[in-house]
């Protein structure tokens, strides 16, 4: 493997240097202790009927484990955070600023900041994962009301 990106000896594209990717040398101060979370132990918070959220908060990222019941709707909305949607089971209809597609296991939608989007299920259930960067403050606020300490309370709020 070569250090620089570019063709490797076999003529393919190099992926970079694995040694530097998996370095054990700390180039900064740890931001805090790590932790483990069992998502199945988090009670889902239902903000709209049939749409259950189980958020896990890091310092710069929020990952939300989302369950859609058949016929559930996440209404069209936009927000300042970038969002990545990953379908892990079932089927979901996703509207990405007018580009409407049926998403299934393994499908991913990337939603830049302020791009309008919506999602809904028809007659099937769907499990998907949303990743927000930075963490979505409105989701943190709503989840704290319902989950309290299950969401990381020492996370600094954005102003």
Q: Give the C-alpha distances (Å, rounded to integers) separating 45 from 28, 48, 75, 82, 139.
A: 36, 9, 17, 21, 10
Is 22 within the bounds of a domain?
no
- Could you list the residue range(s) of the whole structural domain that residue 128 is in? 39-150
Q: Which CATH number do you get for residue 107?
A: 2.60.120.10
Domains of the chain: total: 1
What whole-number distance in Å separates Cα of residue 56 and Cα of residue 20? 29
Is 116 within the bounds of a domain?
yes
Q: pLDDT confidence of 153, banded at 50, 70, 90?
A: very low
**% of the chain beyond a pLDDT of 90:** 52
Segment 42-57 mean pLDDT: 90
Q: Are 101 and 110 in contact (CB under 8 A)?
A: no
Q: In this predicted structure, which of 14-23, 35-44, 118-127 has the lowest mean pLDDT?
A: 14-23
Tokens of 10: 């076999």
Q: Answer whether residue 157 shows pLDDT above 60.
A: no
In the 3-class helix/strand/coil scheme, how is the chain assigned residue by residue? CCCCCCECCCCCECCCCHHHHCCCCCCCCCCCCCCCCCHHHCCCEEEECCEEEEEEECCCCEEEEEEECCCCEEEEECCCCEEEEEEEEEEEEEEECCEEEEEECCCEEEECCCCCEEEECCCCCEEEEEEEECCCHHHHHHHHHHHHHHCCCCCCCCC
Q: In this predicted structure, which of 43-52, 71-80, 105-114, 146-155 has the lowest mean pLDDT?
A: 146-155
Q: Are 117 and 97 in contact (CB under 8 A)?
A: yes
Q: Which sign, positive or negative, has the C-alpha torsion 107, 77, 75, 53?
A: positive
Q: Are 44 and 67 in contact (CB under 8 A)?
A: yes
pLDDT digits (tens, 9 = 90+) for 96-112: 999 999 999 999 999 99
State residue 158's pLDDT score: 46
Is 108 within the bounds of a domain?
yes
């Amino acid at each position: 493997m070569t250090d620089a990106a570019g063709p490797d000896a076999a003529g393919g594209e190099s992926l970079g240097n694995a040694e530097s990717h998996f370095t054990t040398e700390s180039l900064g101060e740890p931001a805090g202790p790590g932790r483990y979370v069992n998502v199945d132990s988090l009670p889902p918070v239902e903000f709209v009927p049939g749409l259950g959220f189980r958020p896990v908060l890091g310092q710069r990222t929020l990952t939300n484990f989302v369950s859609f019941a058949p016929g559930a709707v996440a209404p069209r909305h936009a927000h300042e955070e970038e969002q990545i949607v990953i379908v892990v089971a079932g089927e979901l209809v996703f509207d990405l600023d007018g580009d409407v597609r049926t998403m299934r296991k393994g499908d991913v939608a990337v939603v830049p900041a302020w791009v309008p989007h919506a999602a809904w299920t028809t007659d099937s259930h769907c499990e998907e994962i949303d990743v927000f960067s930075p963490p979505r403050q409105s989701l943190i606020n709503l989840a704290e009301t319902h989950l309290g300490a299950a969401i990381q309370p020492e996370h600094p709020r954005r102003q």
